Amino acid sequence: MSVHILDAMAREGFEEVVALHDRRSGLRGFLGVHDTVRGPAFGGIRRWTYRDEREALLDVLRLARAMTRKVALLDLPAGGGKIVLLEREGVDWPEAYRFIGRHLEGRGGRFEAGPDVATGADELREVARETRFVTDPGQGGPGELAEATAEGVFRSMAATLRALDAEEDFARRTVVVQGLGAVGLGVARRLRAVGARVLAADLAPERVEAAERELGVEPIEAGGALAVECDIFAPCALGGLLHDLTVHRLRCRAIVGAANNVLARSLVGDRLHERGILYAPDFVVNAGALVRGVVFRRAGRREDVAAIGRRIEAVLDDVLARAQAEGAPPARVAAALADDRIEAWRVAAHGGAG
């Protein structure tokens, strides 16, 4: 493995990275705790077919750091972390999730786990059999998380349109939604309710057909979604889709979506900026579920979805105004703002850099 893990941790200010292996279930994975200075690390459990363990390790680092940036920008009393599990043959997954539960219980609340790719209500229920430190997917939990995310994405679109044209005017807008899953469908529904034209793609044709029937969205080819002319391109499938080979194909004015780490590298954000495409940073736009989860765990309250949307919109308004004033890419402005705030928390807590 060629990742110099301790150097990477020092550079990015990580507290802890743990390699996980469970002989009984066959589980392999990593747990990353980026920062806990303001409270326990919140992070989803992602299960994915990684090429190798190096790729999984890089993913846990990127995703955990992004979580701290989210909590910092949204000013939540929490920290950032992530768990990634390597999808492979022969793993007893229910047992593996119970192993994760026991591991989290042993941490005594320093890490609180939630959903992510391939870890939904069923998997979280297994984790919850062994620990209190996990989002309850049922009646006793914070409520619908994807709805909170969808509302945050939708209100972020409003903020972005105002930054572009000084008005929202959804009725004359065209939005391309890539991925009609739990979040993408919620975004499409909100857009149609305010009269926007929605073009949508999904790898699962039945999802597109249902959205066409119920909402009047217009289907497009999944492979070409990126290149369709529109006001806003909304990536709500997977991250990493904008890189050196795809960025030139975009024909949108702005990008606002739920997927994490849409930009494969931060330089891609600079390319978008040069091309005049406004990129609303993913770690602001998609923070709705995190806000709902943290407020519930820390304050015992089920935060109203509309209030979550307004909170995210206000943060994005601020980021976009600063970016405009500085003539800088919004992703860089948001990251710097978050990192400054994290550093201030660390100084306040420990009197020095982390």
CB of 241 to ligand NAI, least distance (A): 7
Q: Which is catalytic among the residues 28, 46, 82, 271? A: 82
> Counting contacts by CB under 6 A, is residue 236 touching ligand NAI?
yes
CB of 326 to ligand NAI, least distance (A): 27
b (16+ CB within 10 A) / e for 275-298 = eebbbbbbbbbbbbbbbbbbbbbe
Kindly list the distances between the CA atom of residue 148 and the CA atoms of 103, 142, 271, in Å, as whole numbers in the listed order: 28, 10, 30
> Counting contacts by CB under 6 A, is residue 215 touching ligand NAI?
no
Contact range with ligand NAI by CB under 6 A, out of 8-16, 33-41, 131-139, 142-150: 142-150
Q: Given the complex with ligand NAI, which of 33 and 259 has the nearer CB atom?
A: 259
> For ligand NAI, which residue of 60, 113, 176, 183 counts as binding (CB under 6 A)?
183
Q: Given the complex with ligand NAI, which of 192 and 207 has the nearer CB atom?
A: 207
Contact range with ligand NAI by CB under 6 A, out of 59-67, 85-93, 97-105, 232-240: 232-240
44: part of which helix (H) or strand (E)? strand 41-48
CB 287 within 8 Å of CB 312: yes
Catalytic site residue 82? yes
> For ligand NAI, which residue of 45, 64, 201, 255 counts as binding (CB under 6 A)?
201
| Cα 315 to Cα 320: distance, rounded to the nearest angstrom | 9
Site for ligand NAI, residues 113 to 132, rule: CB under 6 A: 116-117
> Counting contacts by CB under 6 A, is residue 182 touching ligand NAI?
yes
Kindly list the distances between the CA atom of residue 102 and the CA atoms of 21, 25, 83, 108, 123, in Å, as whole numbers in the listed order: 13, 13, 14, 10, 14
Q: Given the complex with ligand NAI, which of 25 and 178 has the nearer CB atom?
A: 178
> Counting contacts by CB under 6 A, is residue 178 touching ligand NAI?
yes
93-106 helix and 121-128 helix, angle to the nearest 10 degrees: 50
> Counting contacts by CB under 6 A, is residue 181 touching ligand NAI?
yes
Q: Given the complex with ligand NAI, which of 130 and 230 has the nearer CB atom?
A: 230
Tokens encoding 318: 């601020």
> For ligand NAI, which residue of 131, 149, 156, 160 counts as binding (CB under 6 A)?
149
> For ligand NAI, which residue of 207, 253, 271, 311 counts as binding (CB under 6 A)?
207
Nearest to 111 by CA among 209, 212, 40, 192: 40
User: 287 CB contacts (<8 Å, ≥6 apart)?
Assistant: 70, 73, 74, 149, 152, 312
CB 159 within 8 Å of CB 322: no
DSSP conformational letter for 217: P
Kindly list the distances between the CA atom of residue 277 and the CA atoms of 222, 250, 253, 286, 299, in Å, as whole numbers in the listed order: 21, 9, 5, 19, 38
> For ligand NAI, which residue of 222, 227, 264, 328 counts as binding (CB under 6 A)?
222
Contacts with ligand NAI, residue ranges (CB under 6 A): 116-117, 145-146, 149, 178-184, 201-204, 207, 222, 236-239, 258-260, 286, 289
Active site residues: 82
